[in-house]
Amino acid sequence: MRLKVTLSYNGKDFQGWQIQPKGRTVQDEIEKILSLMHKAPTTIYASGRTDAGVHALNQVFHFDSNLNIDPNHWKQIFNRQLPDDIFVNSVEAVSDLFHARFDAKFKTYRYKINVGEFDVFTKDTLYQYNKPLSIDILKKVSNLFIGEHDFTSFNKTELTVIKNQVKEILSFDIYQEDDVVVFEIKGTGFLRHMIRMLVASCIAYHEGNISLEMIEDALHHPDKTKIKFNIPGTGLYLVSVDY
């Protein structure tokens, strides 16, 4: 039986999703439980990786099981054993042809910035920029990213790993709730640090460190050396995966 799992996690104490030689990861925490239950190594397959410190509201993974357990009981089984910074939202039986990564059509990410005073209670869940940001100024940059572009200049995935770095951004919304500025981006897929570098480029323009012409040039003439702006994973959330 193939099972599709949707879960949330606080990325503060994780070195990301994927198992690493050193450090705690979300994948490892889950696979340890499943391997013990199945009495054999059990691999899970996620919709994609998240980096160190990045959070998820609705990450998706699948795995195969030969255990005689009703799908409705899996959620309780997981949450009884998982640490308190991971929570399984739902589990459902799916076709054996379903693949959490390859069947994903769209993903939505949210980056959250505290523009008020430094807050010790949200320092691990919001980027502490602690200065005002103009939504109108930020949107002058974000609007440039909507549509299909080669985002080679705006991510950290090496071209030797993924040669074709063309992605489509369907929407790039920016809004403010109290002292939090939120960037919400929906696209067909994202590369390593891509969201963080897009948001950082918006902020760099706001600060006068880059022009619109330079950003447009980086889109039209892709080059890994053109954009150096980046921000921490702290404020980044995987919101949803659409299939």
Catalytic amino acids?
51
| DSSP state letters, the chain | -EEEEEEEE-GGG-S-SS--SSS--HHHHHHHHHHHHHTS----EESS---TT-EEEEEEEEEE--S---HHHHHHHHHHHS-TTEEEEEEEEE-TT--TTTT--EEEEEEEEE-SS--TTSTTTSEE--S---HHHHHHHHHHHSEEEE-GGG----TTT-S--EEEEEEEEEEEETTEEEEEEEES---TTHHHHHHHHHHHHHTTSS-HHHHHHHHHS--TTT------GGGEEEEEEE-
